[in-house]
Each structure stands twice: as C-alpha cells, then as structure tokens.
C-alpha cells in the first residue's frame, strides 16, 4: 500500500510538470489567436442564444416537478460550415434554465440517455446529501434518478452539471450543464425579465478540431486540463445581444473546465455587482472588473445609453501565471434607439435579517498538486465529520498551482474580505501560495452514511482526485460515525 502510494505520487508529479509545458504551449497559441481576433464591432454577428426556461408542472401537493433528459446525440453549429457533435440536457447543447422559488418543494426526474454512467449535481443547492448528485448518486444508462428537496436558501444563480467519479471534465466539456435559478418573490426590485433585461451568460472555452469537433485530447491532461482558444457564451461564438432596456442584469457563470475569466467592459465603464455564488450582496458594489474561476457566479447590473454598443470582455491571467494571457471578447451589447430609460438599483439588496456567517472551530486544508492534506480523494473514506448547521472556519492554504475550491452542502463568506468579495459563496478561487479563511455555514440535513464533497472545481483536478468528503451528523454523535463507507457504496 505504501509503495503504491509512493509510485502514484511520483507519477503525479511527473504529470504536472509535463502538463506545465503543454500549458505553456497552449498559452502561446491562445495569446496569438487573441491578438488577431481583437474586438471590432462588425465581428459580433451571431445573436446570443438564450437557454430556454425548463418547463415544470405542479404536483397535487404543490411540489414543482421538472423532467431533464441527458443526451449524447446533439448536433450543434458553433463555427461556420461545421457541425459539432455535442451532449445536452433536453436539447443539443447545455440545458434549460431551471427556476425554483424559495420555500418551494422541488421534484426532479433526471433521465440518462447516455451510454455511460453519469450524475447530475445541483451546484450551490443546500439539500440532503442523497439528493446532491455527487458521485454517490450515479445514474446508469437508461435509468431515471428522482431527487426531491425543499428550497431553503436565498435567491441566487446556481447551476447543474455532472459530477461522476473520474468523468466530470469530459461530460461537462461535451455540453452537460445548465443554470438553476432560485427566485424570491419577496426579493428586491432588480431587472428580472428573463432573456430581456435579465440575461444568463454561461461562459465556456473550447478548442475545435479542423472538422469542427470539440478537441478532447487535453481535457484530462496537463496542469490544468484544456484551455480553449474559442469562447462560447450560452453555446454561441462571439455573440451580440440587442437590448430593449438601458439597465440590464447579467447572470455570469464560469462553466469552463479550467479557464479563469475576468469579465468587465472593454471601455472600462463601471458596473454594479449585486450577487455572488449563493446570494445577493447586502448592497450593490461598484467595480470595473470581476474574477471568476470555474464554478463561480457573479450577477452584475449595468446601465447603457440608447443606441450604444459596448463589448463585455475578459482581460486577465488564466491562472495568475502571466498577466498578458487571456484577453477574450465575450459579448457585444447593442442598445436599441427606443430602449427604456435606465432604472436605479435599490440601496439594500439583502432580504430580512442577514444570514449569520461567523468564525467557528478551525479546520485546515492544505492544497498541494492534486492532494488535499496530503492525500487524494477516496469515495469510501469520510475525511471530516461536521455537526448539522455548524459554523466553522476553514483555512485553505495553497501550494504552487491555482485551484478553485467548491464545498457542497454549505455556503460561506470569505473572512478578511470586503465589498463583492465578501458575498455569499460556495466556490472560491485559490491563487498559488494563497491562504484563505472561510466562514462556513453548513446545512441541517443529517445523514451520517452519505457524504458531501469538497473539491477543486478545475475539472481536470477534480477527476484527478483532488477532493475530500464530509458527513453532516446530529450534535453529540460526531465520534460515533464510521469513517469508511466500504461495502455501502460504489
Ligand atoms: Cu485544482
């Protein structure tokens, strides 16, 4: 066992070094293509695709029911003159936007028409571990998974995506992902007409083979996996969006496997951040650029002039390694001449009394290569035991590679942060060498036998085993929990 572990360690280090070189080569290609595709107005010729809203029905007990079908037979058109085989949810590529309300009971039927095992994880949802859609809730080919839960968390922009053991990166890359929006009918007045002044923006990067297929060779290779040179927004290359309103809300999701995006406007104009991963900010925060690592969401509001054209772009380092890398135009906004006047944002966004997030008992996590606290994830091992509803401080310290840490079944605030950085989170970028302190508040659903995960959301790292597991238990039972699930689960 010890010898096998040592061999695995050596192999991994070699892999990461080889990957660093591959990453460098990819970066050179990326910056070249960035240079010769500088944003000019006439290049944005495709209308932004808006994901359809998922249809729902109401059960006799008032629960809202959705049906999602995972498909591997999609045909998509991203580049002129080519067709790309894609995976999708209820469609060819990506999935419909699922909208649920605070307090509502939700029932999902997730049918898999894939030829291999997958899962569907509700990223950012506080729900029982058995409903979480992690590796312990596999959906076999042809099977339908029926999770249900009650929405007990603030309004936010969440998302769903596969989380299958070892194949998350490829399943997401091929197209399985969608938005999951939590609405609060008692929330503040914000632009909220879907696809009109409330715009979902799913950011992804892809690399294409000459025949138009997604290049897949590097998805599970190298230091960070594949960094694509073509940006897709909702599955649209270089899109434009015509607005009927001068004030618009953009719900940004970084659904890339590895790329860090830095959205802002090409002309440097300020905008207001109104929400982060797991909820609205207490008050709008004015800034000119935000940073989003894979898995993170940001909601922004910007006001424009009538007839104005402005480009949303991404400008900043992919992984804090080279500041010249990663300049990509994202979307051109075009305001119609007769657009509605701008609207002012409310002063306060948070509803009711703010959710308490405070420091608590300390746990330390050291990220190093693909290890957390010196080991890789084991689906049969419980790494941490947490008391239901607990407040804890998680200290995350990082080695030499960038990571993006996601905690299931919990929300957190960054201690020591201000402004938009102090918003409600479930995923956080961890730069090389950084130490972050998170005030984590755990959910209240008790299940000592089914773990939640915490893991790196760079999907090549996640698939490489950069994860751990915790269970949520009743107070006073922390020491009675078996630390091994062997024989219980896959
Ligand atoms: Cu990572």
Q: Which residues, 6+ apart, have CB-to-CB distance to 165 below 8 Å?
A: 135, 379, 490
Q: Identify the CA nearest to 158 among candidates 202, 110, 92.
A: 202
In SS3 terms, 126-178 reads as CCCHHHCCCCCCCECCCCEECCEEECCCCCEEEEEECCCCCCHHHHHHHCCCE
Q: Are residues 35 and 52 in the same domain?
A: no
What pLDDT, in 10s, does the model give residues 364-387? 999 999 999 999 999 999 999 999
Between 16-30, 64-78, 350-364, 465-479, the lowest mean confidence (pLDDT) is in 16-30
Give residue 404 CA to ligand 1 midpoint distance, Å.
6
Q: What is the pLDDT of residue 321?
A: 56
β-pairing, 263-265 vs 239-245, is unpaired
Picking from 166, 183, 200, the residue at the C-terminal end of a domain is: 183
> In 10 A of CB 363, how many CB atoms?
17
460 CA from centroid of ligand 1 (Å)? 8
What pLDDT sits at residue 36? 39
Flag whether pLDDT at 18 surpasses 50.
no
464/379 same-domain check:
yes
Looking at the structure, do residues 26 and 164 belong to the same domain, yes or no? Answer: no
pLDDT of res. 352? 64
The residue range of the domain holding 104 is: 47-183
Residues 425, 381 share a domain: yes
Å from CA of 70 to ligand 1 middle: 26
The Cα 156–Cα 252 span in angstroms is 11
For residue 370, report the distance from its CA to the centre of ligand 1, in Å.
7
Last residue of a domain, one of 340, 372, 398: 340
CA–CA separation, 101 and 105 (whole Å): 9
Half-sphere exposure (Cβ direction) of 437: Cα atoms closer than 13 Å: 12
Q: Are 346 and 440 in contact (CB under 8 A)?
A: no
> What is this structure's pTM?
0.91
Residues 50-108: pLDDT tens digits? 999 999 999 999 999 999 999 999 999 999 999 999 999 999 999 999 999 999 999 99
Contact 306, 339 (CB under 8 A): yes
> What is the distance in A from the centroid of ligand 1 to the CA of 372?
10
Q: Environment class of residue 37 by beta-carbon count within 10 Å: exposed (0-12), middle (13-18) or buried (19+)?
A: middle
User: What CATH number does the domain containing 387 carry?
Assistant: 2.60.40.420
CA 399–ligand 1 middle distance (angstroms) = 10
Q: Give the distance (Å) from ligand 1 centre to CA of residue 466.
A: 7
45 pLDDT band (50/70/90 cuts)? confident
Q: Are residues 142 and 213 in the same domain?
A: no
Residue 488 has pLDDT above 60, yes or no: no
406 C-alpha vs ligand 1 centroid, how far in Å? 10
Tally the domains of the chain. 3
Identify residues whose C-beta is under 5 A from ligand 1, the ion.
403, 456, 458, 461
- Judgement on whether residues 246 and 124 belong to the same structural domain of the protein: no
Strands (E), 290-390: 297-303, 309-315, 327-340, 362-368, 371-372, 384-387
142: left (phi over 0), alpha (psi -120 to 50) or beta: left
């Amino acid at each position: 066992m010890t010898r096998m572990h040592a061999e695995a360690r050596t192999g991994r280090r070699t892999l990461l070094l080889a990957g660093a070189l591959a990453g460098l080569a990819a970066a050179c290609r990326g910056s070249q293509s960035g240079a010769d595709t500088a944003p000019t107005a006439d290049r944005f010729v495709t209308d932004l695709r808006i994901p359809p809203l998922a249809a729902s029905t109401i059960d006799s007990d008032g629960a809202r029911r959705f049906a999602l079908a995972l498909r591997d037979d999609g045909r998509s058109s991203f580049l002129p003159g080519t067709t790309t085989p894609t995976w999708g949810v209820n469609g060819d590529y990506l999935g419909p936007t699922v909208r649920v309300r605070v307090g509502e009971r939700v029932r999902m039927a997730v049918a898999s028409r894939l030829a291999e095992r997958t899962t569907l994880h509700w990223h950012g949802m506080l729900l029982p571990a058995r409903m979480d859609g992690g590796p312990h809730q596999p959906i076999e080919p042809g099977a339908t998974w029926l999770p249900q839960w009650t929405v007990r968390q603030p309004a936010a922009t969440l998302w769903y995506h596969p989380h299958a053991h070892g194949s998350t990166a490829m399943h997401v890359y091929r197209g399985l992902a969608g938005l999951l929006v939590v609405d609060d009918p008692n929330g503040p007045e914000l632009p909220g007409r879907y696809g009109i002044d409330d715009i979902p923006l799913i950011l992804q990067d892809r690399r294409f083979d000459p025949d138009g297929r997604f290049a897949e060779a590097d998805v599970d290779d190298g230091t960070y996996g594949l960094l694509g040179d073509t940006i897709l927004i909702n599955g649209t290359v270089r899109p434009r969006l015509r607005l009927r309103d001068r004030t618009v809300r953009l719900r940004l999701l970084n659904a890339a496997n590895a790329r860090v995006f830095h959205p802002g406007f090409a002309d440097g104009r300020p905008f207001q951040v109104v929400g982060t991963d797991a909820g609205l900010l207490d008050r709008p925060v004015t800034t000119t650029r935000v940073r989003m690592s894979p898995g993170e969401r940001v909601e922004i509001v910007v006001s424009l002039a009538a007839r104005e054209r402005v480009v949303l772009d991404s400008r900043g380092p992919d992984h804090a390694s080279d500041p010249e890398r990663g300049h990509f135009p994202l979307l051109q906004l075009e305001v119609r001449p007769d657009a509605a006047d701008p609207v002012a944002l409310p002063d306060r966004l948070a509803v009711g009394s703010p959710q308490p997030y405070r420091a608590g008992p300390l746990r330390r996590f050291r990220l190093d290569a693909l290890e957390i606290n010196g080991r890789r994830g084991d689906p049969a091992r419980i790494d941490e035991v947490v008391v239901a509803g607990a407040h804890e401080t998680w200290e995350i310290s990082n080695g030499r590679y960038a990571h993006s840490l996601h905690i299931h079944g919990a929300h957190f605030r960054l201690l020591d942060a201000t402004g938009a950085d102090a918003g409600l989170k479930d995923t956080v970028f961890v730069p090389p060498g950084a130490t972050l302190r998170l005030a984590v508040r755990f959910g209240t659903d008790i299940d000592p036998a089914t773990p939640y995960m915490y893991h790196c959301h760079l999907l090549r790292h996640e698939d490489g085993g950069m994860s751990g597991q915790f269970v949520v238990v009743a107070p006073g039972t922390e020491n009675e929990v078996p630390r091994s699930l062997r024989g219980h689960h896959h």
